[in-house]
Amino acid sequence: MIDLEQLARAQQAIVAAGDELYRAGQVPATGGNFSVRLDATHMAVTASGRHKGRLTPADVMVTDFAVTPLGSPQKPSDEARLHGQLYQDRPEAGAVLHTHSRAATVLSRLIEGDTLWLEGFELQKAIEGVASHDTALAVPIVDNDQDIAALAEVARERLRGLDTRAYLIRGHGLYTWARDMSGCLRQVEALDFLFDCELIMRRTR
């Protein structure tokens, strides 16, 4: 049984996140998708194809973590499986944001390996679990795939056993998760700042 007041709060949080992220250039042209954990098996997630800067609560639907809709005729985000999988595998995840910024898109293409290493930036501490600028922050990278089930399996294997709060899909964008939506928004902002810094440093090397 879904708690309807909790669902309404989740819908509001997702609508507000879309507005903030669109204004920040993080989700152009309907890109991106967002979710909030509702209970042990369900999430509130954006419906597919919506403009993320112009969401209303009706654009946020309930599915289980296997992406079966609950009481909605709408189609969930094409990438909802990636959200559900994170809630299944990461008990610490209360909210998940997927964004398509320029920096995430370009930097993930410039790196040939499967990891972006960020080191020496004070803002690394904005990521949950990071206590010092002095530790290297690893952001796993997986190759993009239009087959979301296949992409989900590759991401699950890549993340297995890692204490991370984010990964990049090459040429596509960022997934990040946190205890709640405000932590998740902070991580999107911090990671994108760090991606920008890394791009500038690579240009000046």
Ligand X SMILES: CSCCC(=O)C(=O)COP(=O)(O)O
**Helix, strand or coil for residue 45?**
strand
**Helix, strand or coil for residue 78?**
coil
User: Is 128 one of the binding residues for ligand X (CB under 6 A)?
Assistant: no
32 versus 53: smaller Cβ distance to ligand X: 32
User: Is 74 one of the binding residues for ligand X (CB under 6 A)?
Assistant: no
- The CA-CA-CA angle for residues 157, 169, 194, to 5°, reads 110
- Judge whether 100 is annotated as a binding position: yes
User: Is 29 one of the binding residues for ligand X (CB under 6 A)?
Assistant: yes
User: Is 30 one of the binding residues for ligand X (CB under 6 A)?
Assistant: yes
- Specify the residue for token string 């509001």: 12
Could you say which of 31, 53, 84, 94 contacts ligand X (CB under 6 A)? 31
Note the helical H segments in 31-90: 80-89
78 versus 157: smaller Cβ distance to ligand X: 78
49 versus 120: smaller Cβ distance to ligand X: 49
Residues binding ligand X: what is the number (CB under 6 A)? 12
Q: CB-side exposure of 158: number of CA atoms within 13 Å?
A: 23
Amino acid at position 63, single letter:
T
Amino acid at position 27, single letter:
V
**Residue ranges binding ligand X (CB under 6 A):** 29-33, 46, 48-49, 77-79, 98
